[in-house]
Structure 1
């Protein structure tokens, strides 16, 4: 019987590409720890891929992929924290578990747990903590699944749009791609989050530059 699950996401702050939420169900923490799993941000891509295969073979997993377009649509209605909490709850409901460990996306971890519980229908015990992906192996496993799944999504988008880097605002390749695309087409690419401040700032700057051309 699967008793616990861990939930984490990748791509929450990216300006290009989707956010991926992943969950992993297990009997207990110890069996997940035996995989040697760690927070996906601290291990190499090759190691993540290897762990991904092991995790998906040994445990029940589930994912939710929220596109840039859907994030823009939802942000007109609810906060980003609520979008993440709703996606966390969606994945929890796909998994066999009684207790869900989630990486809190709110400065108030307890409040975030209540939000996830509300979206999940109150049918689960929610343990919401900051840095849960470091503290709990089952959340570390979910972190790996989320990151690998998002990496594969980004690779597919690169085939469609060209190499735009990681998709994060801190990536100079991403910013150059976004600036060039908007300058040439007059609008952001379909893989961009138009509601993001990064996109709005580039649009505004290029729009003002165009006015000065006249």
Structure 2
């Protein structure tokens, strides 16, 4: 069994980080499906390929909510957290060979960390931008991206427009700023351990003190 693993939402300040793995017995079975790095596909095309992949192949998803991330980060790094999720996907898919999109600046180190966490022999190939080099990782990136996008849509329905959830998104920052101003705490969908949130909280506290 071959598997590919990728994540979506590592750098986001809102919403979950989603790590997805897909397993196939024959890599050739992914040919001619139009698989590419999920970021290079339109939302409609991603959804179409997602439905095809999830109905035809085994897959496993680890969705880490903001609370999960905040609770883990004081004791481990974000890269370690992602390595554990990658290993969980590979293990669930009983892979003999696993292709990973390395989130660590040192791709080899990331691969070694994941390999150590897999409880059976598995050849691990970890590379930067593996979602562009290997269709099986591109397939995993599509699954992760679609699941995260759906969670963001659900948050939009709950809170109103929150943007993409990334700190570079002006709509996301406006939502966070307004929410913290009105409620004096971050929303549950925010990663409190992110500098973006702590900076906005500090700014709000300073603004409140200036009122006295």
Q: Please, what TM-score do these two structures have when normalized by structure 1?
A: 0.96
Shift of 1:118: 1.8
Shift of 1:28: 3.0
Aligned match of 1:144 in 142, 145, 153?
142
Aligned match of 2:194 in 168, 181, 196?
196
Task: Identify unmatched segments of 5+ residues in structure 1.
Answer: none
Shift of 1:30: 2.3
Matched, 1:41 2:29: no
CA distance in 2 between counterparts of 1:13 and 1:72 reads 13
Aligned match of 1:55 in 53, 56, 71?
53
Q: State the partner residue of 2:85.
A: 87
RMSD value, Cα? 1.0
Q: Which consecutive segments of 4 or more residues in structure 1 shift more than 6 A?
A: none
Q: State the partner residue of 2:5.
A: 7
Aligned residues: 212
Say if 1:29 and 1:136, in contact at 8 Å, map to a contact too.
no
* SS of alignment partner, residue 92 of structure 2: coil
CA distance in 2 between counterparts of 1:89 and 1:157 reads 28
* SS of alignment partner, residue 125 of structure 2: strand
Summarize deviations over 1:50-86 as a string: whole Å, max 9, x none: 0001111221111110000000000011001001111
CA distance in 2 between counterparts of 1:50 and 1:68 reads 28
* SS of alignment partner, residue 167 of structure 1: coil
Residue pairs, 1:130-169, within 5 angstroms:
130-169=128-167
Q: Which moved more, 1:23-32 or 1:107-116?
A: 23-32
* SS of alignment partner, residue 100 of structure 2: strand
Shift of 1:44: 0.2
